[in-house]
Structure 1
Amino acid sequence: MKPALPLHTHPVFIIGAGGIVNSAHLPAYQLAGFDVQGIFDLSPEKAAATAASFQIPQVFTSLEQMIQTAPPNVIYDVAVPGSALIAVLQQLPPGARMLLQKPMGEDLEEAEQILSITRTKKMLAAVNFQLRYAPYILAAKELINQGSIGTLNDIEINVNVYTPWHLWDFLFTAERVEILYHSIHYVDLVRHLLGNPVAVFAKTVKHPAMAQLASVRSNIIMDYGDFVRANIITHHCHNFGTAQQHSYIKLEGDKGAIKIDFGALINYPHGVADTFQYTVTNENGHTEWKTLPVGGSWFPHAFIGSMAQVMLAAGQGGLPDNSVEDCIYTMACVEAAYIASKQGGVPLRNFSNTI
């Protein structure tokens, strides 16, 4: 499955030359035929190396130089940490069009500042919650939109893997890790499929083997009332080989179900193959699981859709599907999860006088 693509592409300038730019953004843009014309990074060596690897014609020595050189129809790919987004937005010109790396700031307060800046400067801004556009999610949405599995009433996302967090040095000083930098994708996906929840319950915890990091395991329940279940369970410290590792997205309706085993997180960064299975109950009440071949994966193919949304909006008007106006609610859900985790559940001591 492929995302909607613009008839006419726009030149892209990339701010940041980190690992995700090299492993996902640029490979995706090459696949899509997007024209990356320039790059800037605080490390000139990183920018030069990335430019050489991907044949990017211009390497800028400063953000100011990039802005002065930018063609009028440029789209900025702002691939910097969430903590740096506000500073970059303050420098970009009014009316600029951009794709912001997730998360949309380090917390909801920063996300609200980002939203305010983009509104004040009349910017066209989207957030790179790219799981929405992974080929297997597009395939699932097609089945759902066709009515094949009926009305969606159950979403379960379950991840049990070993994640080498040491690959990202900045996380060791981050106050928030698992939900903000990983499960945020699943929170956004649930919102994308079901809309905004009524409330969020959560508990996110550390692990003895990774005590120097903030929480690396999470349970999140997104509340959609009495007839819809939306659960996210993540455990990133299963360091016992890959035999019992898994990462899946299960979607159930009243007529059928979809199960996506996504392999990007298993034996990271090498990954394993994805599988897409679905079943539809026939008129006799019989169900049979079938496998649907789906070309492409989360990395790098989903990154095509994120940028394509900005290009489509720039060319046709309106807001991209992943606009900051929409994604602010993903950040609100994340904030709610952290607050819920801190507040905790109902203490058993409340019942000490009755049992």
Structure 2
Amino acid sequence: MLEDLQQHWPRAANPKPIVIFGAGSIVTDAHLPAYANAAYPVAGLYDPDLEKARAVAQTHGIKAFSSPEEATGQAGAIFDLATPPDAHAGILSMLPQGAAVLLQKPMGSDLEGASEILKICRERELLAAVNFQLRFAPMMLALRDAVNRGLLGEIVDFDAWLALDTPWGLWKFLEPLPRVEISLHSIHYLDFIRGLLGDPSGVHAKSMGHPSSRIAQTRTAAILDYGDTVRCALSINHNHAFGRKHQACEFRICGTKGAAYLQLGVNLDYPRGEPDILEINTGDGWRSIELDGSWFPDAFTSRMSQLQRVATGEEEHLISGVEDAWYTMALVEAAYESSAAPATPIARKPQ
């Protein structure tokens, strides 16, 4: 049964053209390669930096729109917002009524921003999904398929362990931001956990920076409260700069019948990365699952495929739509509130 686990979302039979907002590295490294792999048509892209937009468009043989009005005027398109979170609301307000749109995560800079985005999407009746594409990585789709088939039994433990040397210097724009690690990185893990285990009742979290970094937070410890049956913990350290030997980027998921181990390779030796790994033990020893593709860019292909298929009527249920993604943002907000709150004090002397 492990040989035929789902790893890719079915391609849309009659895809709509895609209009991209943004021309940054995520577009050139993930979005455009992903859509080319699926042969999805890209009508063009827009970026306020018109010179950069034209250069990217020329490289990929697509059109560079000269204004946001020209870009949003493409009737019948799916709009792909690879833009900063504080830019989402303004672009959404310009989209045609009822349009299909994919929003880069996070869904706004904070929960207030997410609520504004949700309000706009409801008012304009947008078919809007958030690009929480980790759910669609080949290894994660395979894991979810194994869980859905009952191969692991009831999930009782989820551990995320990251000890990395993340090159924060690649993203200078992060330095002035008040929220970074949870809202821009671990949000992927929190969203994936929600998709697998459902919504926790609460969260205990502590997120902090590091003396070697100008980034507001680069280390996080968190516990998600799923009652007295499921234990869910995350240990995230982006400052483990002591060589590859003891670095890690892995999940361990244990159930009542089996367990799974995953390595998220892209985060190791970023941006070159290492292979993704999925191993599953259903009671008869560990078996390595041969993966067809990796998080980048294959998850972006499957994420767009799922939205395309809903937009074209091939599927009914939108995964990671804004209605659901709001709860991921609520979990992020709660984690930051927990981090800012004092811990339970310890008695200093006997009574």
- Normalising by structure 2, we get a TM-score of 0.95
Q: What letter is aligned with 2:59? A: S
Distance 1:297 1:90 in 2: 34
Q: Give, in whole Å, the separation in 2 of the partners of 1:196 and 1:142.
A: 19
Correspondence 1:25 to 2:23: no
1:275 aligns with 2:277: yes
Matches of residues 1-355 of structure 1 in structure 2 within 5 Å? 1-56=7-62, 58-68=63-73, 70-71=74-75, 73-210=76-213, 212-281=214-283, 287-316=284-313, 318-348=316-346, 351-354=347-350
Which has the larger displacement, 99-108 or 243-252? 243-252
State the distance in 1 between where 2:228 and 2:285 align.
Answer: 28
SS across alignment from 2:318: coil
Per-residue deviation, 1:353: 4.7
SS in 1 for 2:266: coil
- The answer to whether the 8 Å contact 1:134/1:298 transfers is yes
Letter in 2 for 1:328: W
**In structure 2, C-alpha distance between the alignment counterparts of 1:5 and 1:107, rounded to whole Å:** 33
CA contact (8 A) 1:306 1:322 kept: no
Shift of 1:318: 4.0
- Match of 1:156, SS? strand
The one-letter code sitting in structure 2 at the alignment partner of 1:164 is P
Task: Measure the CA separation in 2 of the matches of 1:53 and 1:252.
Answer: 45
Q: Is the 8 A contact 1:252 1:258 kept in 2?
A: yes
Q: Deviations over 1:106-160 (max 9, x none)?
A: 0000000000000011111000000000000011111111111111111111111
Gaps of 5+ in 1: 282-286
Q: Percent identity?
A: 42
- Quote the Cα distance in structure 1 between the aligned partners of 2:156 and 2:342: 27
Task: Give the unaligned 5+ runs of structure 2.
Answer: 1-6
Mapped partners of 2:247, 2:289: distance in 1? 22
Give the drift of 1:319.
Answer: 4.4
Instruction: Tell whether the 8 Å contact from 1:131 to 1:189 is kept in structure 2 after alignment.
Output: yes
1:5 Cα deviation (Å)? 2.6
Moved >3 Å (runs of 4+): none
Deviates more, 1:146-155 or 1:125-134: 146-155
Question: What SS is found at the alignment partner of 1:328?
Answer: helix
Q: Is the 8 A contact 1:44 1:61 kept in 2?
A: yes
Contact 1:312/1:320 (<8 A) preserved:
no
Contact 1:219/1:232 (<8 A) preserved: yes
Distance across 1 between alignment mates of 2:78 and 2:307: 8
1:52, 1:269 → 2: CA distance? 24
In structure 1, what residue type is equivalent to 2:311? A
What secondary structure sits across from 1:34 in the alignment? coil
Deviations 1:253-310 (A, max 9, x none): 10110001121011110011122111111xxxxx411111111111000001221122
Q: Which amino acid aligns with 1:19?
A: S
SS in 2 for 1:3: coil
Whole-angstrom CA distance in 1 between matches of 2:187 and 2:47: 25
After superposition, the C-alpha distances for 1:306-346 in whole angstroms (9 at most, x for unaligned) are 21122111112744111001100000000000000000311
Query: Does the residue aligned with 2:115 lie in a helix, a strand or coil?
Result: helix
Distance 2:175 2:122 in 1: 33
Amino acid at match of 2:336: Y
In structure 1, C-alpha distance between the alignment counterparts of 2:317 and 2:53, rounded to whole Å: 31
Q: CA RMSD in A?
A: 1.2
Kept after mapping to 2: 8 A contact 1:203/1:344: no
The superposition leaves residues 173-201 of structure 1 with CA deviations (integer Å, 9 ceiling, x where unpaired) of 11100000000000000000011111111
**What is the CA–CA distance in structure 2 between the aligned matches of 1:4 and 1:223, rounded to whole Å?**
34
Count of residues paired in the alignment: 344
- Whole-angstrom CA distance in 1 between matches of 2:266 and 2:170: 15
Aligned-pair distance for 1:62? 0.8
Contact 1:309 1:322 in 2 (8 A): no
Q: Distance in 2 between matches of 1:40 and 1:169?
A: 22
> How far apart, CA to CA, are the structure 2 residues paired with 1:32 and 1:78?
19
Aligned-partner residue type, residue 301 of structure 1: D
